[in-house]
Structure 1
Amino acid sequence: MALKLVLLFAFVAVALADTTPYGPPPPPPPTYSPPAPTYSAPAPSYSAPQPVSPPKYDFTWNVKDDYSGNDYGHQEARDGYDTQGSYYVQLPDGRLQQVTYTVNGDSGFVAQVNYQGEAQYPTQQGYGSAPSYQAPAPSYQQPRPSYA
């Protein structure tokens, strides 16, 4: 009877240990594949926005600093596509450089440059003769032996 009982328990254990799956197969392991990049640039626009009215302005500014000697300025007037203006600057050599310009439509920038005054260059001051330097003669003293 004991043998029958052992065989019965062995049979039940084998029946419960059945590993045959009774459902859908497990999903495959995940694989990573990035999506293909998409490049969608905006369509180029070759037309500038049309102004509501033709440009028109007039401005002037200047700087004069007696302490540093800076003297420069700018004046410009525009009406539509026609522009006239001038600017000036005090140069380091003492002259005043003045540029008068015009721009008429697509004709480009047309400039006329004038100089007022005479260029002056200060005389260079030298340092004179080269400095003379003499090193003192070395003095070597022999140490005296001490006996203690």
Structure 2
Amino acid sequence: MVAKFAIILSLAAAAYAGLVPVSKVVYAEPEAPAHYDFSYSVHDDHTGDLKQQQESREGDVVHGSYSLVQPDGVRRVVQYTSDKVNGFNANVQYEGTPVYPAPAKVAYAAPVAKLAYAAPVAQVSYSSPAITYHH
């Protein structure tokens, strides 16, 4: 009985004591200004896909440009900048003259003449049923 009492008393003491809080030290990483350079280009003669992009960032200022050839053959060139003071500004220029293909001539088939036929005349005849007697 004394052993049971000692066990219960030690469990109660452990529960009452709780855990000792341990403070965690967090070191702040120094933040460097953002910097990157990015570019790509596509030149696919098979599909006619011609485009490119270039962008660079130094701190909070972004400069870049992109260009592409539109379906009408005109090349669109966009140069842009973005910063905290002026926001996003884009300058769009178009190079070349649009070329539109001539509409294809459509060949129409002559309409098929529908021939009208008179419906066959049905000969209607009626005869009275034969009367028969059965004994």
Give the TM-score category using the shorter length.
0.5 to 0.7
| Misfit runs of 4+, over 6 Å | none
Structure 2 residue 32 is matched with structure 1 residue 53: yes
Measured against aligned partners, the alpha-carbon deviations of 1:56-91 in whole angstroms (never above 9, x if no partner) come to 000101111101111112110000011100011110
2:63 to 66, 72, 84: 84
Quote the Cα distance in structure 2 between the aligned partners of 1:137 and 1:76. 74
Structure 2 residue 104 is matched with structure 1 residue 120: no
Aligned to 1:67: 46
Quote the Cα distance in structure 2 between the aligned partners of 1:138 and 1:68. 56
Identity level (%): 34
Q: Any stretches of 5+ residues in structure 2 without a counterpart?
A: 1-28, 123-135
Measured against aligned partners, the alpha-carbon deviations of 1:71-122 in whole angstroms (never above 9, x if no partner) come to 1121100000111000111100001101000112231111111111110111
Per the normalisation by structure 1, the TM-score is 0.55
2:78 to 99, 108, 117: 99
- Of structures 1 and 2, the larger Rg is shown by 1
Aligned-partner residue type, residue 82 of structure 2: V
Quote the Cα distance in structure 1 between the aligned partners of 2:57 and 2:117. 79
- How many residue pairs get aligned? The number is 96
Aligned to 2:15: none
Please give the root-mean-square deviation of Cα atoms over the aligned residues, in Å. Answer: 2.6
Aligned-partner residue type, residue 66 of structure 1: D
Q: Any stretches of 5+ residues in structure 1 without a counterpart?
A: 1-49, 144-148
